[in-house]
Homo-oligomer: A and B are copies of this chain.
Amino acid sequence: MIEMTMAERKAFNKREKIIKSAIKIVNRRGYSGTTMEEVAAELLMTKGSLYYYFKNKSDLMFQCNSIVLLEAQEDLKRVLLDESLSIKKRLQEMVFIHIHYAIEENEVFNLIMRPEQLFSEEQLEEVLHLRDEYAAFFDKIIAKGIETKDFNTEDPIMLRMFILGAMNWIQQWYKPNGRLSKKEIQQRFWNYILKLLT
């Protein structure tokens, strides 16, 4: 979107590679369990080098969080604005997307449990802002559905929190080879959600 020289692009790519790597580690070890050393090792770098790309650990963690959230937002937005789909279908897609991220990017997703402890004030503000934006996508489609009488509920905000909570929690018990596949979970959760909304 923004013009970059070759060198800038290269640096940008490297930064992204690091973030992707860090995301993997965070998903395995959690935030405080992740060490700069391990992130570096995964990339065959030395930890000192990471500081060329990121101010400090908290900065790196912050960017991990942002990148995942922004990606998910992109996916949601595409569906939200796709007028070829019915309201219900759109929400369903969004639910599927959310569950996908909750399962695949379990720790990093919107799941920093105590972000106040990890992030600087400035970062925290943006983290919370990103989360709000994310949630707003769901609010929007629900509001539309209420307008069109597809959905019906009082206090849609609280209901959205109920629903997102249920989905976020999946990562706590999901196991790749469990009784139900990701697809089946998505389908059943969607059924519950639909029931709540009508």
Chain A residues in the interface with B (C-beta under 8 A): 29-30, 32-33, 107, 111, 113-114, 117, 155, 158-159, 161-170, 172-173, 180, 185, 188-189, 192, 195-196
Contacts and interface: CB of A to CB of B under 8 A. Distances in A.
A164 B170 CA distance: 10
B166 A117 contact: no
Contacts of A114: 29-30, 33, 107
A38 to B, nearest CB: 13
A196 B163 CA distance: 12
A172 B165 contact: yes
Contacts of A189: 162
14 contacts: A29-B114, A30-B32, A30-B113, A33-B117, A107-B114, A111-B113, A158-B185, A161-B173, A162-B166, A162-B188, A164-B169, A165-B168, A168-B172, A192-B196
B169 A161 contact: yes
Given A30-B32, A30-B117, A162-B166, 14 more contacts: A29-B114, A30-B113, A30-B114, A107-B113, A111-B113, A155-B188, A159-B192, A162-B192, A164-B169, A165-B165, A165-B166, A168-B169, A168-B172, A195-B195
- Say how many copies of this protein the assembly contains: 4
- Dominant secondary structure at the A interface: helix
A146 to B, nearest CB: 16
Nearest to A159: B192
A167 B114 CA distance: 17
Contacts of A29: 114, 117
Nearest to A170: B165
A25 to B, nearest CB: 12
Given A168-B169, A172-B165, A158 B188 contact: yes
Contacts of A113: 30, 107, 111, 113, 172
The 10 closest A-B pairs by CB, nearest first: A165-B169, A166-B166, A32-B32, A165-B166, A162-B166, A30-B114, A158-B188, A162-B192, A168-B169, A192-B196
